[in-house]
């Protein structure tokens, strides 16, 4: 695996899933693979889970780990080739990526969507420019359009928790006071489309995701109907794709409550976190025995460790 920016970088999803479950049973079993190797984690945006789970994953493999909050502590990056850098940005992305590559054997990068320029975001301009300048493998810690480490952890969680061979999984839009990227939802749809699950996506009219990620997936605007008999309910807010980055109305009735969960097949509740309690989902749901939010966060370590191990193995 050269880079990990989406599920398209994975040869065999089932094999990857089995490897993650094996690693979870024996987290220090591959400690020699990362000896004298350095993982660099570069964040242009805030993080709790991604930062700490990726750091732990690298350490479990025996790697040295360096973390930089580039958005706060680094130079502002210029992305345009040939630009005359006489205003805001102090450093070109190709110089930064090449320099970080000298210090690190694998680089993880987080750079969220602008939510202002859809073409820029959906062409993954930032990641592609960074990869263009880097000389070592790159792992996405969430890009403008995708969050593959989160989706891989979600797949692990569903595999561990499912009670039927092919569970019904519902990805539901949920309310939120601020405009959020579509990355988690896009990525979840992409991974679930390759998993042994029946996926339904439900959202209010106006919150359609890019067809690039939802092609062939059942989509419903009837929230209650979609939730019926669900084995897993994955809640996530996203802003509009068509009216890019905008939040059109309140839709507070889309909050996941105990009443909404009662429509399901004693379904499990999932969310990637962080979550705004009693906005996206009620305390009752989040603190219920059917909530998998902590299991998902825990599996972030083993998702990251599996991807890192794949990359380290390539080098051996």
The answer to whether 46 and 111 are in contact (CB under 8 A) is: no
Restricted to residues 123-162, the positions that interact with ligand CP (CB under 6 A) are 142, 150
CB of 140 to ligand CP, least distance (A): 11
Q: Kindly list the distances between the CA atom of residue 97 and the CA atoms of 83, 136, 147, 304, in Å, as whole numbers in the listed order.
A: 17, 9, 20, 21
Q: Which residue has the tokens 């990869």?
A: 131
Q: Which among 296, 268, 55, 266 has a CA at the least distance from the CA of 156?
A: 296
CA atoms within 13 A on the CB side of 159: 22
Restricted to residues 183-242, the positions that interact with ligand CP (CB under 6 A) are none
Restricted to residues 23-52, the positions that interact with ligand CP (CB under 6 A) are 47-50
Going edge to edge, which strands form the sheet with 218-220? 218-220, 198-202, 168-173, 232-236, 268-270
Which residue stretch of 13-21, 168-176, 241-249, 266-274 sits at the interface with ligand CP (rule: CB under 6 A)? 266-274
- 55 touches ligand CP by CB under 6 A: no
Q: Quick count: other Cβ atoms within 10 Å of Cβ 221?
A: 14
CB of 184 to ligand CP, least distance (A): 7
Which residue has the closest beta carbon to ligand CP?
Answer: 50
CB of 35 to ligand CP, least distance (A): 27
Give the count of residues interacting with ligand CP (CB under 6 A). Answer: 9
If the CB atoms of residues 101 and 299 are measured against ligand CP, the closer one turns out to be 299
If the CB atoms of residues 260 and 271 are measured against ligand CP, the closer one turns out to be 271
If the CB atoms of residues 150 and 237 are measured against ligand CP, the closer one turns out to be 150
Token pair listed for 241 = 């794709």
Enter the DSSP assignment of 245: T
CB of 206 to ligand CP, least distance (A): 25
Binds ligand CP (CB under 6 A): choice among 23, 180, 195, 272: 272
The dihedral through the CA atoms of 84, 87, 103, 152 has a sign that is negative
Q: Which among 226, 224, 229 has a CA at the least distance from the CA of 257?
A: 224
CB of 19 to ligand CP, least distance (A): 21
Contacting residues toward ligand CP, per CB under 6 A: 47-50, 142, 150, 272-274
């Amino acid at each position: 695996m050269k880079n990990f920016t989406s599920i398209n970088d994975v040869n065999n999803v089932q094999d990857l899933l089995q490897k993650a479950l094996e690693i979870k049973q024996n987290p220090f079993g591959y400690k020699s693979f990362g000896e004298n190797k350095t993982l660099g984690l570069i964040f242009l945006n805030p993080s709790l889970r991604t930062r700490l789970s990726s750091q732990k994953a690298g350490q479990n493999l025996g790697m040295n780990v360096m973390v930089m909050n580039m958005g706060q502590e680094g130079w502002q990056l210029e992305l345009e080739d040939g630009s005359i850098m006489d205003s805001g940005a102090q450093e070109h992305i190709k110089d930064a990526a090449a320099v970080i590559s000298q210090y690190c054997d694998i680089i993880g990068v987080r750079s969220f969507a602008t939510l202002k320029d859809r073409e820029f975001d959906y062409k993954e301009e930032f990641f592609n420019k960074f990869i263009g300048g880097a000389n070592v493998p790159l792992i996405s810690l969430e890009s403008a359009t995708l969050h593959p480490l989160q989706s891989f952890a979600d797949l692990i969680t569903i595999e561990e928790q499912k009670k039927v061979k092919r569970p019904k999984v519902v990805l539901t839009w949920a309310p939120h006071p601020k405009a959020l990227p579509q990355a988690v939802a896009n990525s979840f749809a992409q991974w679930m489309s390759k998993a042994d699950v029946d996926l339904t996506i439900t959202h209010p009219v106006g919150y359609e995701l890019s067809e690039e990620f939802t092609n062939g997936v059942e989509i419903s605007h009837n929230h209650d109907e979609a939730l019926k008999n669900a084995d897993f309910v994955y809640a996530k807010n996203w802003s509009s794709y068509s009216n890019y980055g905008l939040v059109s109305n309140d839709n507070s009735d889309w909050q996941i409550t105990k009443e909404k969960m009662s429509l399901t097949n004693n379904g499990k509740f999932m969310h990637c976190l962080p979550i705004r309690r009693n906005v996206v989902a009620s305390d009752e749901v989040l603190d219920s025995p059917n909530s998998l939010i902590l299991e998902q966060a825990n599996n972030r370590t083993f998702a990251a460790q599996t991807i890192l191990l794949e990359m380290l193995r390539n080098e051996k």
